[in-house]
């Protein structure tokens, strides 16, 4: 069972790398520097607590009948070691309320490959990249028409929204082309 943090409070960054050779410009072949900054910043602790709680809840779901009857055992994260034989705890019952998934979550978090906001739309001079007509501030003739313009994540798969952004971008380009004549 997979948990996703739909609205993270921690935010990462993506930057064009500095030139490798003095005097040379960055090339299209140069890979961007991506730092997701999972669980960093003021909201990072809340994000981590949410994901650890979600993992605990997922474990509780798959450990509860009738689903537990068809699941052979936990694979990932690895189950905790069984209690020592002298323990009064039933060896077949791992107390999920006591299990702490925080370190496992921290070490195994990955992206869901639906990033947004890397070129967010908003007012000029406030850290945004594109205007309401999808034009990149300070770069003539360049627009961005994909999920990167959305300043916040949405509660759905991105595909339909990206199609709509692309269609709107095409419409804006045509409007601007016709207005110039």
- Tell me the catalytic residues: 114
Give the three-class secondary structure for 35: strand
CB atoms within 10 A of CB 150: 19
Q: Are 48 and 105 in contact (CB under 8 A)?
A: yes
Tokens of 155: 């509660």
Q: Are 51 and 3 in contact (CB under 8 A)?
A: yes
The answer to whether the CB of 9 falls within 8 A of the CB of 47 is yes
Please, which residues bridge with residue 34 across strands?
A: 14
3-state secondary structure of 6: coil
Nearest CA-CA partner of 168 in 147, 151, 139: 147
């Amino acid at each position: 069972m997979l948990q996703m943090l739909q609205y993270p409070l921690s935010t990462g960054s993506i930057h064009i790398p500095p030139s490798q050779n003095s005097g040379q410009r960055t090339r299209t072949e140069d890979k961007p520097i991506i730092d997701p900054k999972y669980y960093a910043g003021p909201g990072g602790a809340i994000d981590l607590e949410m994901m650890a709680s979600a993992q605990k809840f997922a474990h509780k779901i798959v450990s509860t009948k009738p689903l537990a009857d068809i699941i052979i055992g936990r694979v990932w994260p690895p189950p905790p070691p069984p209690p020592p034989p002298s323990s009064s705890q039933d060896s077949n019952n791992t107390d999920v309320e006591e299990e702490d998934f925080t370190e496992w979550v921290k070490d195994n978090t990955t992206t869901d490959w639906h990033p947004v906001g890397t070129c967010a739309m908003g007012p000029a001079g406030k850290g945004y990249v594109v205007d309401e007509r999808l034009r990149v501030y300070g770069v003539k003739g360049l627009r961005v028409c994909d999920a990167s313009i959305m300043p916040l994540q949405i509660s759905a798969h991105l595909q339909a929204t990206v199609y709509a952004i692309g269609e709107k971008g095409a419409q804006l380009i045509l409007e601007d082309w016709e207005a110039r004549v």
